[in-house]
Structures are given as structure tokens and as C-alpha cells.
């Protein structure tokens, strides 16, 4: 890994700040892209893919990609994945705003949950070919990210406004992090059942699973930012009942204890 880089809207920062990039929910801008993650690797190594609550559009350049360049959509996953990154591989990942999946990809988040889908299966061959041709001419990863953003913005403009359900999901997402689902439903003037249906459709996971992913990211981010903080303190600050429950979540999502995951992240690069 030659210094992974993160693009947070117009701001470029270095990899350690990854978890300071907004984890959904975020306020949508003109673009449907919440953040970009740009990674480059100069030798073979195992990498870790931390699950995120956003739909991601990934452009790969290099030996792992079909024909040296491919694009795929990655739905919301709930477990850490491990993968070998090949020398010379580059990846540009656009993380979409919550509820933007339908406008950008033509399918709702629920259709992508836990899946990786080639872009041609969503956009068709012609539109994908046009994007790949433009990306092939990109000077570097940052240029490719800018290109990708402009193409996404064009598609959102063509798709028109946000689906009402997507807007409801966005409104609810922030609230379910702090309150019970039925309380949020009352607040937003819909039934609890409807709110859960809409969240699953437009976010890709259940309200609880979404809140769990965000909480996990907060805890991991805090642990990476403050190396000497106690796990009990991190658990409390991140919304866990206590340290025991934080550890249980790390085991469920990452398959290892918090300490072990931090250790892994020191030797394996993040893949988005």
C-alpha cells in the first residue's frame, strides 16, 4: 500500500483519516457520492474490506480487473472480508449517499445487499463501455474519481428526483442510531412496519443492522484515532451498552476481537 488516499467531497486527506470520512447518513449534495476512497498497492498483500452501510461503486485498474479495468457495484455487507491485493492494483471507490442507489444504479439497495454486481448488469453494455473508455484515459486515481463523479452526477440528473421512500429512509437513518424504530416511526408519521420495509429497500439492511454497522465504525474509528483509549471508554462513547457487547459485535462482524482487528489493520491495508 503506497499511502491509500481518501477524497471527502473536495478534500483530500491521508488514509489514517479514513474513518473520519462520513459514515451514512449524510446530507446529499448535488452529487450522489458521499465520499471517495482511492487505494493503490505496489506489492502483493492480504487486505481487509470493512463492511460499510453505503452502496459502493468500485473501479479497479490492474491485474485483478477484467481486461485491466472493470467497474462493479458492491451492496451493503455485514462482515469483514479478506482478499489478496495484487501488486500494481489500483481501486477508486465511490460511496453513494443513502437512498441514492436507485438514481445511480437503477436498482434499490435491497437488490444489491450482500452482493457484488458487474456494472454492465445494471447500466447495460453501451453505457458501461462509455464509462470504461473515459476511465481508460484518466491520468491517475484522483482524475478517475473526478470522472466517475461527473458520470454519476449525469445519471442522477437523468433519473430525476429522489424516490419518496429513499427520502424517508434518509430521514429515518440518522434517527434509528439514537432511538427505537417504533419511536422513529411515530416521529416521522408512518407505521413501524412501513418504516422497516422502506429502510430495508433503500438502505439494504434492517434498521438495527444499519445502526450496528455505524456503531461498529464509530468504535473502530475511535480505537484507531486514540491508541491509548480504554475499550470501556470507546464502547460507551460509541453507543455500546458495555465493553462486553462491543467485543461481541467485533467478533460477529470481523470474526475477531477488537485488539486482534487493530493488529490486523496495522499489517493489512484497507480495501475501502
Judged by the rule CB under 7 A, the positions of this chain that interact with DNA are 164-165, 180-182, 190-194, 196, 198, 200, 206-209, 211-212, 230-232, 240-245, 247-249, 251, 257-260
11-14/81-85 β-pairing: unpaired
Q: In terms of CB distance, is 107 or 132 closer to DNA?
A: 107
DSSP 17: G
Burial readout 198-233 (b: 16 or more C-beta within 10 A, e: otherwise) = bbbbbbbbebebbbbbbbbbbbbbbbbeeeeeebee
Q: Looking at beta carbons only, is 139 or 228 nearer to DNA?
A: 228
Task: Select 237 or 260, whichever has its Cβ closest to DNA.
Answer: 260
Is the Cβ of residue 37 or residue 210 nearer to DNA in the bound state? 210
Q: Taking the complex as a whole, how short is the minimal distance between the CB of residue 63 and DNA, in angstroms?
A: 35
Find where cell 479514513 sits: 18
CB of 266 to DNA, least distance (A): 14
What is the side-by-side order of every strand in the sheet holding 33-40?
Answer: 11-14, 5-8, 33-40, 90-96, 56-61, 69-74, 116-118
**Nearer Cβ to DNA (132/236):** 236
Q: Give the pairing of strands 90-96 and 56-61.
A: antiparallel
Cite the beta strand spans of 119-210 per DSSP E.
none
Residue among 87 and 230 whose Cβ is closer to DNA? 230
CB of 74 to DNA, least distance (A): 20
Closest distance between DNA and the C-beta of residue 256, in Å?
A: 8
Mapping DSSP to helix (H, G, I), strand (E, B) and coil, where does residue 270 land?
A: strand
The answer to whether 272 touches 59, Cβ cutoff 8 Å, is no
Cα separation, 161 vs 173, whole angstroms:
19
Place of cell 488516499: 5
CB of 119 to DNA, least distance (A): 26
CB of 37 to DNA, least distance (A): 26
- The torsion region of residue 215 among left (phi > 0), alpha (psi -120 to 50) and beta comes to alpha
* Cβ proximity to DNA, 57 vs 220, nearer residue: 220
| DSSP-based three-state secondary structure for 92 | strand
CB of 71: closest distance to DNA in angstroms?
29
Amino acid at each position: 500500500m503506497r499511502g491509500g488516499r481518501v477524497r471527502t467531497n473536495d478534500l483530500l486527506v491521508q488514509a489514517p483519516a479514513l474513518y473520519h470520512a462520513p459514515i451514512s447518513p449524510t446530507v446529499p449534495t448535488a452529487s450522489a457520492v458521499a465520499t471517495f476512497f482511492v487505494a493503490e498497492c505496489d506489492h502483493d498483500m492480504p487486505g481487509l474490506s470493512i463492511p460499510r452501510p453505503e452502496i459502493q461503486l468500485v473501479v479497479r485498474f490492474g491485474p485483478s480487473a477484467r481486461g485491466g479495468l472493470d467497474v462493479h457495484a458492491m451492496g451493503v455487507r455485514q462482515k469483514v472480508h479478506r482478499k489478496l491485493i495484487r501488486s500494481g492494483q489500483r481501486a477508486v471507490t465511490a460511496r453513494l449517499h443513502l437512498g441514492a442507489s436507485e438514481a445511480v444504479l437503477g436498482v434499490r439497495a435491497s437488490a444489491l445487499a450482500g452482493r457484488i454486481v458487474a456494472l454492465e448488469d445494471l447500466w447495460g453494455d453501451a453505457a458501461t463501455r462509455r464509462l470504461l473508455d473515459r476511465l481508460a484515459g484518466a491520468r491517475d486515481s484522483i482524475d478517475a474519481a473526478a470522472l466517475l463523479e461527473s458520470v454519476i452526477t449525469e445519471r442522477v440528473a437523468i433519473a430525476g428526483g429522489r424516490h419518496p421512500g429513499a427520502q424517508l429512509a434518509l430521514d429515518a437513518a440518522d434517527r434509528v442510531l439514537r432511538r427505537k424504530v417504533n419511536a422513529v416511526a411515530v416521529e416521522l408519521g408512518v407505521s413501524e412496519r412501513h418504516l422497516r420495509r422502506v429502510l430495508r429497500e433503500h438502505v439494504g439492511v434492517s434498521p438495527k443492522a444499519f445502526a450496528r454497522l455505524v456503531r461498529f465504525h464509530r468504535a473502530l474509528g475511535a480505537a484507531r484515532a486514540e491508541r491509548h483509549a480504554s475499550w470501556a471508554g470507546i464502547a460507551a462513547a460509541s453507543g455500546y451498552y458495555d465493553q462486553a457487547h462491543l467485543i461481541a459485535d467485533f467478533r460477529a462482524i470481523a470474526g475477531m476481537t477488537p485488539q486482534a482487528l487493530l493488529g490486523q489493520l496495522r499489517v493489512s491495508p484497507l480495501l475501502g
